[in-house]
Every structure is written in structure tokens, then in C-alpha cells.
């Protein structure tokens, strides 16, 4: 998860390569926040974070607007519109693909 991660991506990439199983891409779950005024509002945050840290292509393996979006009163009404822009943003941010939940 690009927002709250306990993984060390550099170590994972290194250990996989040392074991003879180098990674071709990095998969990340990234749910953009609905709150205004935060960089976490964008899918680009998680994609760029891992492209910069490990230099591998990023697959957005899980994204969308989940039930937790209901914590922000106005978010539920924006979800359908936001899904379309999430797809475009993911592709334009350089991700190699995405899977979204709705």
C-alpha cells in the first residue's frame, strides 16, 4: 500500500535477484484519498513513489474507491466520476496496468 507501507521494496528486489528470481515489475495497492489538499489524492503518488525507489515498472494491482470512502461525506457521490479519471491517471503516470474495485 503506497500510503501505509511496512515493506522495504529495495530489499525485496535485491533478495529476489540474489535468489535468481528477479522481479520484472512491482505491484502496489494504491487507493487515492478523496480529501482535498493532499498529494495522496492521486494515483500518481504510489506509482511515482515506487518507480523512483526501485526503478521497476509499476502495476497498480488494486485501486478504486472502496467502502472506506464513505468516511468522507462527499466522496460517495464522486466515485463514478473518479473511477474514470483514476484509469487515465494511472496510464498517464506510467503504470504498466491496473485493476480497480468499485
The SS3 of residue 62 is: strand
Instruction: Judge contact between 30 and 1, C-beta under 8 A.
Output: yes
Give domain status of residue 52, yes or no. Answer: yes
Which pTM value belongs to this model?
Answer: 0.71
Q: pLDDT of 53-88, one tens digit each?
A: 999 999 888 776 666 656 666 666 666 666 677 778
Q: Return d(Cα 87, Cα 63) in angstroms, integer.
A: 9
Identify whether 67 is part of a domain.
Answer: yes
**For residues 36 and 61, what is the distance between their CA atoms, to the nearest angstrom?**
24
In this prediction, residue 12 has a pLDDT band, given cuts at 50, 70 and 90, of very high
Is residue 3 domain-resident? no
Q: What is the CA radius of gyration of the chain?
A: 14
Structural domain count of the chain: 1
What percent of the chain is modeled with pLDDT above 90?
A: 24
Residue 2, domain member (yes or no): no
Give me the domain span that covers residue 84.
9-101
Instruction: Residue 53: count other Cβ atoms within 10 Å of its Cβ.
Output: 13
Residue 1 forms part of a structural domain: no
Amino acid at each position: 500500500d503506497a500510503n501505509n507501507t511496512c515493506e522495504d521494496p529495495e530489499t525485496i528486489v535485491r533478495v529476489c535477484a540474489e535468489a535468481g528470481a528477479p522481479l520484472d515489475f512491482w505491484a502496489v495497492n494504491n487507493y487515492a484519498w478523496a480529501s482535498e489538499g493532499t498529494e495522496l489524492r492521486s494515483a500518481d503518488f504510489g506509482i511515482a513513489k515506487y518507480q523512483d525507489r526501485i526503478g521497476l515498472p509499476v502495476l497498480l494491482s488494486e485501486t478504486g474507491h472502496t467502502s472506506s470512502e464513505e468516511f468522507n461525506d462527499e466522496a460517495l457521490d464522486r466515485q463514478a466520476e473518479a473511477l474514470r479519471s483514476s484509469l487515465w491517471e494511472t496510464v498517464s503516470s506510467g503504470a504498466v496496468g491496473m485493476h480497480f474495485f468499485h
